[in-house]
């Protein structure tokens, strides 16, 4: 499924804010004529988007995938859509069965902002040292303690890739890991922007990572540039204690 997270307090249900989960459960419960609870692969935070979110739910109804998909999308708001449905094994769990997740952070580096993309990218008017940012990003790959970038409790995660790609004025940071800590991607990007602006260098970035101290890292990058773009399911196994992040 995909959604524009701009007007939501995140994916997960909250008492005082609209959420993607609440909208999806409302639509599914109406179509299935029973209370439905969904589980998401990534618990994205307020303002964060998704183009490749995966959810699971259980129902006693025997509606076909096409019929269910059409009905749910007809009831969902315009900023949320279900792109595909299929039966899953009884043991499948959208979150705990996932073996990898990929997030993308988009930055516009240009003298003027693009008003049409303001909800999808972080605008920076001054040039960035992308080569230095790439050097620093390479130090993220591997199994490490990423507490220095977490918005909450820290922990060890395995980052498989972390790369920057330039497409005209758009700069994309794509990172894949087995799981993420809460706030981890935004903390990483915010600190990498320090590198890009010359406030620190790749060696110092490595020292921040090794410190496990969030106070030493840069401010979290804004939520609007972040999107969950893919969730992997395969043979790899991980502990249920490896909670994924809440805002990436």
Reported confidence tier of residue 73, pLDDT bands at 50, 70, 90: very high
**The whole model's pTM is what?**
0.93
70 and 161, same domain (yes or no): no
- Asked whether residue 154 carries a pLDDT value surpassing 50, the answer given is yes
User: How many domains is the chain partitioned into structurally?
Assistant: 2
Q: Please tell me the distance from the alpha carbon of residue 20 to that of residue 13, in angstroms, as a whole number.
A: 8
- Asked whether residue 31 carries a pLDDT value surpassing 60, the answer given is yes
Contact between 56 and 94 under an 8 Å Cβ cutoff? The reply is yes
* The pLDDT value given to residue 235: 67
Cross-strand partners of 173: 105, 164
Residue spans of alpha helices (H) in the chain? 20-32, 65-75, 130-138, 184-196, 202-211
Q: What is the mean pLDDT of residues 204-215?
A: 96
Domain hosting residue 141, numbered range: 100-232
**Residue 207 backbone phi and psi in degrees, to 5:** -70, -35
Treating both helix axes as pointing N-terminal to C-terminal, what angle do 184-196 and 130-138 enclose, rounded to 10 degrees? 140
For the ranges 62-76, 144-158, 161-175, 234-248, the lowest mean pLDDT is seen at 234-248
- Asked whether residue 137 carries a pLDDT value surpassing 50, the answer given is yes
CATH (domain of 159): 3.30.70.660
CATH (domain of 63): 3.30.70.580
Q: Identify the three-state secondary structure at position 209.
A: helix
In sequence order, the 6+-apart residues with CB closer than 8 A to the CB of 233 are 54, 97, 98, 99
Q: What is the mean pLDDT of residues 151-166?
A: 95
Contact between 96 and 88 under an 8 Å Cβ cutoff? The reply is no
Catalytic residues: 45
Q: Each residue of 226-243: pLDDT tens digit?
A: 999 999 998 654 444 445
- Is residue 177 in a domain? yes
């Amino acid at each position: 499924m995909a959604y524009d997270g701009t007007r939501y307090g995140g994916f997960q249900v909250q008492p005082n804010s609209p959420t993607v989960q609440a909208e999806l459960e409302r639509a599914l419960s109406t179509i299935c004529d029973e209370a439905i609870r969904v589980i998401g692969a990534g618990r994205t935070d307020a303002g964060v988007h998704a183009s490749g979110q995966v959810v699971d739910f259980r129902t006693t109804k025997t509606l076909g995938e096409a019929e269910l998909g059409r009905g749910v999308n007809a009831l969902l708001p315009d900023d949320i859509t279900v792109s595909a449905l299929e039966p899953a094994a009884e043991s499948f769990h959208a979150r705990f069965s996932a073996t990898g997740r990929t997030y993308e952070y988009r930055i516009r580096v240009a003298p003027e902002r693009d008003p049409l993309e303001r909800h999808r990218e972080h605008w920076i008017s001054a040039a960035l040292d992308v080569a230095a940012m790439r050097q620093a990003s390479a130090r993220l790959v591997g199994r490490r303690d990423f507490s220095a970038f977490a918005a909450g409790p820290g922990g060890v995660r395995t980052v498989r890739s972390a790369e920057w790609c330039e497409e005209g004025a758009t700069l994309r940071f794509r990172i894949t890991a087995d799981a993420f800590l809460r706030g981890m991607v935004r903390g990483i990007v915010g600190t990498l922007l320090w590198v890009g602006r010359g406030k620190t260098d790749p060696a110092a970035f490595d020292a921040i990572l090794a410190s496990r101290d969030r106070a030493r890292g840069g401010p979290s990058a804004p939520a609007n540039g972040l999107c969950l773009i893919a969730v992997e399911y395969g043979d790899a196994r991980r502990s249920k204690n490896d909670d994924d992040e809440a805002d990436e």
